[in-house]
């Protein structure tokens, strides 16, 4: 077996003060750095995803004549309309400055197609196209994933569900996740769904002691 740590969207725009700031989002950075440290000492790989939208992305409410935080439809899929966030080459799209990114072996960008949203680090929301992540992990012999990041109820959840479908043994480092919570229970429900689908929920200290 070979394990990789997958860090989801630890970007400025998902931290407080950012365009789509998640409550306590910045608290995930210290968790990520400790998880990275543990991986280094065990010779495990660290990879990351990065939400990377063109300015004309249709998930942005303003580009779809919709109101932020309401529901609509995009490409036949249910869509939450988001504020403008993680626009390519902007500060908001950069990985958080405190993240020890020199230890990240590869960063996989997603959400570049303006016509479809892309929560998972593996596939777009319609499972039409995939990122290079799965191929890269296969090439490196990775069989087990530990996943954490932002946001619990969107990109973490869909990445974990795809990882399970792709056959990875998957842990979620729960204290390394924070959610959008359009509804107050969304993150809790997302974690329960990941667990029911076969993910193991662990704390950072359990991950470090493994
Ligand atoms: C995300 C909403 C829109 C996320 C990305 O990283 O969870 N959420 N784009
Ligand atoms: Zn996005």
CATH topology of domain 3-53+95-209: Rossmann fold (3.40.50)
Ligand 1 pocket by Cβ (under 6 Å):
9, 14, 51, 82, 119, 150-151, 154-155
> What tokens does 136 get?
């890269």
- Yes or no: say if 180 and 151 are a contact pair by the CB < 8 Å rule: yes
Q: Which residues pair with 130 in a beta bridge?
A: 123
In angstroms, the CA 105 to CA 101 distance is 9
Residue 210's pLDDT band (cuts 50, 70, 90): confident
Q: How high is the mean pLDDT of the chain? A: 98
- Yes or no: say if 9 and 151 are a contact pair by the CB < 8 Å rule: yes
**Ion ligand 2 nearby residues (CB, 5 A):** 51
In angstroms, the CA 3 to CA 144 distance is 4
The alpha carbon torsion through 140, 199, 11, 209 (nearest 10 deg) reads -80
Q: Which ligand is nearest to the CA of 52?
A: 2
Active site residue 15: no
Active site residue 155: yes
For the segment 3-44, what is each residue's pLDDT rounded down to a tens digit?
999 999 999 999 999 999 999 999 999 999 999 999 999 999
Task: Considering the candidates 39, 86, 110, 124, report the single residue annotated as catalytic.
Answer: 110
């Amino acid at each position: 077996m070979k394990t990789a740590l997958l860090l989801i969207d630890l970007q400025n725009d998902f931290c407080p003060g950012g365009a789509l700031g998640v409550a306590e989002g910045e608290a995930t950075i210290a968790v990520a750095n400790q998880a990275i440290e543990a991986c280094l000492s065990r010779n495990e790989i660290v990879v990351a995803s990065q939400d990377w939208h063109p300015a004309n992305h249709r998930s942005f409410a303003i580009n779809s004549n919709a109101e932020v935080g309401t529901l609509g439809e995009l490409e036949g899929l249910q869509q939450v309309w988001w504020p403008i966030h993680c626009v390519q080459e902007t500060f908001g799209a950069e990985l958080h400055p405190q993240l020890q990114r020199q230890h990240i072996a590869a960063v996989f960008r997603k959400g570049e197609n303006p016509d479809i949203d892309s929560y998972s680090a593996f596939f777009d929301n319609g499972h039409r196209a995939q990122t290079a992540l799965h191929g890269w992990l296969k090439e490196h012999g990775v069989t087990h994933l530990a996943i954490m990041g932002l946001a619990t109820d969107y990109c973490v959840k869909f990445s974990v569900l795809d990882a399970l479908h792709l056959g990875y043994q998957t842990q979620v480092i729960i204290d390394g996740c924070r959610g959008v919570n359009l509804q107050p229970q969304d993150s809790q429900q997302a974690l329960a769904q990941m667990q029911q689908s076969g993910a193991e929920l662990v704390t950072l200290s359990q991950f470090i002691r493994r």
